[in-house]
Amino acid sequence: MSVQSSAKQIRIFDTTLRDGEQAPGCSMTVGEKLRVAKALSELKVDIIEAGFPAASPGDFESVKAIADRNFGPVICGLARCNAADIEKVHAAVKGADNHRIHVFVATSAIHREHKLKMAKEEIIKSAVGAIQMARELCDDVEFSPEDASRTELSYLAEVVSAAIEAGATTVNIPDTVGYTVPAEFDRLFCYLQEHVARINEITLSVHCHNDLGMAVANSLAAVIAGARQIECTINGIGERAGNCSLEEAVMAIKTRAEFFELETGIDTTRLYPTSRLVSNITGMHPPRNKAIVGENAFAHEAGIHQHGMLQHASTYEIMRPEDVGLSKSNLVLGKHSGRHAFRDRVAELGFDIDEFETNRAFQEFKKLADKKKDVYDGDIESIIMNAGSGSLGPWTLKSLEVQTHTDEPATATVILIGEDGNEISESALGDGPVAAAFQALQSATGVDMVLRNFELHSASMGEDAQGEVTVTVEIDQKSFRGRGASVDIVEAGCRACLEVMNRTLRRRSRGEDSDAGGQSAHATI
Ligand code: KIV
Ligand code: ZN
């Protein structure tokens, strides 16, 4: 079944789990994808592009797991124009009441000649065949002419006409390499509306990449020119410079409603929590000055601005922080705060966690409040998002001791507690405290790994802020990501590493050799 929307309604097609996840370092496990899909449904996106099922068995499983949960939005999967891909998408998405098959083929001269080595007519034939096949399986079929913005206009109109005749219900126009500019994209959309006979019978969609920093501007230009679906990702994550940022496009339409005279169905108060969830899972944190969800997006430093704000917020504020899900008060709890206060704050921050998770998070909060005086929203978010990540065992970090000296190697000693309650202690030397601690962990757990990336992000403010560390490590030539948080950044790194080691040991004890989605495996497009 295809989604219908009024002429004023813009559908939000989220591709965080497909195009976003394709970005280096952004791959997610099935469990992580399910958390993001649930958050996207609470954000009320219209369509979730959950993955590219033919890319790998892990991709197939995660798209299927999301579709089977039936969270509410239309669940879509991507396919090349071939029967195997289309059948895989259908098998993966059919569990959702509303599902969509998205087929694509490149149409620009550059792609035709150098990548596909296909003539114009062959490409149209392959698109038509794929759309017809997809329509036999599903009423809701989207077609994308990849690299549309660099395709000859008259040929693009021919392809789009053929796609509509073949039964596509949505036609998406991608600016695959982020090459176009708003005025040119406007012309492209106007051209299609003038030259494609039945274009009013389908939903016209836009899909922009951000190579020249214009993905949002180009998407909005397309909307002004008649597009009624925007394809976008949370925090704008995606290949290279990323995709159109969902939060920016949505807030532009909402904040400038009198200009656009359009609306989306997004619950904008879920934007900030969803952004935090995605950045926490991927370890890709938006820059501080990122529009809408950056840490400084609502901060006013300059005295003249602060003065104006005190007189009237609208002097320098075009959106209210609470409209995007940022709470006004940031300073919150301390060590005397009780369970009720903690639970209320967690709910205010937009988390919906059960009793078990609340208890676990409250214990973590108490430990943290003993170490630092003020516990900020960022700390609480960090606790919730990292809660449980290190508690599945088999190993738990009991203690970590590191010694560093500017002229000598660092030494680290870790004590781990096993599931049976036994303790193991290992020491190691390293070029620095992180290297020494990681070496000690490897000796203790018996899991060998190579550290590829160590990213540190401060969860809140001040010297005693919690550090959130995301590590990317290679184990058995596969890449895995782990997360950990602590006021001590070496300890946070150890927790992140131990999380991956524990996952590896659990997998090994189940006799598996990979965790689906935990490492990158993407089919070439
Ligand atoms: O950027 C692109 O062209 C795509 C298509 C597959 C829609 O992601
Ligand atoms: Zn794309």
Question: What is the rounded distance in angstroms from the CA atom of residue 413 to the CA atom of residue 421?
Answer: 19
Residue 520 has what pLDDT?
38
Sign of CA dihedral 140, 516, 458, 372: positive
Treating both helix axes as pointing N-terminal to C-terminal, what angle do 339-348 and 377-386 enclose, rounded to 10 degrees? 90
Any residues with Cβ below 6 Å from ligand 1, and which?
Answer: 19, 104, 144, 146, 172, 174, 176, 207, 209
pLDDT higher than 60, residue 443: yes
Residue 384 has what pLDDT?
82
How many angstroms does the Cα of residue 282 sit away from the middle of ligand 1? 21
DSSP per-residue letters across 236-303: G--STT-B-BHHHHHHHHHHTHHHH--EE---GGGHHHHHHHHHHHH--PPPTT-TTTSTTTT---SH
SS3 at position 111: helix
Pairing mode of beta strands 263-264, 423-430: unpaired
Question: What is the rounded distance in angstroms from the CA atom of residue 210 to the CA atom of residue 217?
Answer: 10
More confident residue, 242 or 506: 242
Please state the three-class secondary structure of 337-401 as a single string. CCHHHHHHHHHHCCCCCCHHHHHHHHHHHHHHHHHCCCEEHHHHHHHHHHCCCCCCCCCEEEEEE
How many angstroms does the Cα of residue 132 sit away from the middle of ligand 2? 23
Residue to substitute in 76, 105, 107, 207 for testing ligand 1 pocket (most ligand atoms within 8 angstroms of CB): 207
pLDDT higher than 90, residue 352: no
Question: Which amino acid is located at 385 in the chain?
Answer: M
pLDDT higher than 90, residue 117: yes
- Which residue CA neighbors atom 5 of ligand 1 most closely? 146
Residue with tokens 């040119």: 184
Taking 3-state DSSP, the helix, strand and coil percentages for the chain, each rounded to the nearest 5, stand at 45, 20, 35
Question: Which amino acid is located at 202 in the chain?
Answer: I
SS3 at position 104: strand
The answer to whether the CB of 25 falls within 8 A of the CB of 480 is no
pLDDT bucket at 387, cuts 50 / 70 / 90: low
Residue 523 has what pLDDT?
42
**Partners of 471 in the β-ladder:** 454, 482
Closest CA to 66 of 56, 51, 81, 78: 51
pLDDT higher than 50, residue 1: no
Q: What would the mean pLDDT of 96-109 be, rounded to a whole number?
A: 98
Query: Any idea which ligand is nearest the CA of 175?
Result: 1
Question: What is the rounded distance in angstroms from the CA atom of residue 416 to the CA atom of residue 422?
Answer: 8
Structure tokens at 412: 């680290």
The answer to whether the CB of 285 falls within 8 A of the CB of 279 is yes
Query: Any idea which ligand is nearest the CA of 108?
Result: 1
Express each pLDDT in 154-165 by its tens digit: 999 999 999 999
Residue with tokens 């490149």: 106
Pairing mode of beta strands 99-106, 141-146: parallel
Query: Any idea which ligand is nearest the CA of 170?
Result: 1
Residue to substitute in 16, 19, 156 for testing ligand 1 pocket (most ligand atoms within 8 angstroms of CB): 19
